[in-house]
Amino acid sequence: MKKRILSGIQPSGQLHIGNYFGMIERMIQFQDSSDLFCFVANYHSMTSINEKVKLEKNTQEAFIDLLALGLSPEKSTFWVQSHVPEVAELAWILSNYASVGQMQRSTSYKDKIANGLKPNMGLFSYPVLMASDILLFQSELVPVGKDQKQHLEITRDIAIKFNNTFGDVFTIPDIEIDTSNDTIVGIDNRKMSKSYNNTIPIFADNDTIKSQVMNIITDSAGLKDPKDINTPLFNIYSLFIDEESKNELKDRYNTPGLKYMEVKKELVDIIISFFEEKKSMKEHLLSNIDEVNKEMKLGKSKAKKIAQKTLKKVKSATGLL
């Protein structure tokens, strides 16, 4: 039996190469090696988006982008979170096994408040909804970035408490902290993140990609100096090439005469051709929304089946008539 792996992706606007190499690429591989469950987390996004059109647009675009990049409801279970509202029902049930103190200690909650978000119940119980996402589908493994580690620990605690009370209803998920995400640097050498405005967006037009690459910071090493490979230009370039080409690039960095401008020009071409097919796929999907809707429907029906099965078990265990 293939391992059931689950992950949620918030629809927060333009996907960038950090998202791709940090997580999406792995998801696409998991479709073959595992029993992948992956969804666009639009309920979660309600904690930060309160405009109808923006939430609709972001959700649809995230689904289309991920389809274009290779996620497929045929190969995996890939859906829009709110299409399976059973998750909200289970979240209510689970909230009775979630500790208020633990939610209050959540660093992600505290950070969000510190950044100016209003402390409403949605934000507060965000980890319970996440637990529901994970437990509803009896996930065995959840790979996340380290910023989500505490949420996963909360999930496990809730599941254990619930199982101790009612018997073995839920699979207790393992956590896998994916560190590759943290090492993808942006054009300013900080972690690549939309909030730092230092990304290279995947689906942007070629001019935008070019200007972002040209803006990658470089040092002031002279033409005759060997160059430092611990720099964003080298790191970003490396994402797109295999080990052998990486060693060649290293040699070029160590040899006097390397011009950063030339490396940047190459990188522009590499990025553009790397995503070319995916970009045309996105164009295709945008002009064939029927196809997108069909995929959404398939994802919904596959996810719903599992969700209803778990929920039935939960209701019967807890005494909900």
Ramachandran assignment for 13, one of left (phi > 0), alpha (psi -120 to 50 degrees), beta (any other): left
How far CA 49 is from CA of 42, 115, 122, 123, 315, in Å, comes to 9, 15, 12, 12, 32
* Interaction of residue 10 with ligand TRP, rule CB under 6 A: yes
Bridge partner list, 175: 142
* Interaction of residue 19 with ligand TRP, rule CB under 6 A: no
Bridge partner list, 40: 9, 80
User: Sign of the C-alpha dihedral, residues 87, 78, 112, 154?
Assistant: positive
* Least distance between ligand TRP and beta carbon 240 (Å): 24
* Beta sheet of 35-40, edge-to-edge order: 77-80, 35-40, 4-9, 141-144, 174-177
* Least distance between ligand TRP and beta carbon 132 (Å): 9
Q: CA nearest 188: which of 180, 199, 176, 202? A: 199
By Cβ distance, which residue is nearest to ligand TRP?
8
* Interaction of residue 144 with ligand TRP, rule CB under 6 A: yes
| Among 4, 5, 8, 184, interactor with ligand TRP by CB under 6 A | 8
Q: CA nearest 35: which of 65, 63, 10, 1? A: 1
* Pairwise CA distance, residues 274 & 270, whole Å: 6
Confirm if 25 and 15 have CB atoms less than 8 A apart.
no
| Among 44, 210, 300, 302, interactor with ligand TRP by CB under 6 A | 44
How far CA 86 is from CA of 35, 141, 161, 197, in Å, comes to 20, 21, 21, 36
The nearer residue to ligand TRP, 133 or 213, going by C-beta atoms, is 133
* Pairwise CA distance, residues 271 & 209, whole Å: 8
* Least distance between ligand TRP and beta carbon 184 (Å): 15
Among the listed ranges 60-68, 141-149, 159-167, 281-289, the one in contact with ligand TRP (CB under 6 A) is 141-149
* Interaction of residue 134 with ligand TRP, rule CB under 6 A: yes
* Least distance between ligand TRP and beta carbon 30 (Å): 13
Site string for ligand TRP, 75-114 (x = CB under 6 A): ----------------------------------------
Among the listed ranges 4-12, 218-226, 251-259, 270-278, the one in contact with ligand TRP (CB under 6 A) is 4-12
* Least distance between ligand TRP and beta carbon 257 (Å): 43
Site string for ligand TRP, 145-174 (x = CB under 6 A): ---x--------------------------
| Among 71, 98, 128, 130, interactor with ligand TRP by CB under 6 A | 130
The nearer residue to ligand TRP, 7 or 76, going by C-beta atoms, is 7
Contacts of 173 (CB under 8 A, 6+ apart): 6, 134, 135, 139, 140, 141, 142, 152, 155, 156, 159
* Interaction of residue 41 with ligand TRP, rule CB under 6 A: yes
Q: Which residues bind ligand TRP (CB under 6 A)?
A: 6-8, 10, 41, 44, 130, 133-134, 142, 144, 148
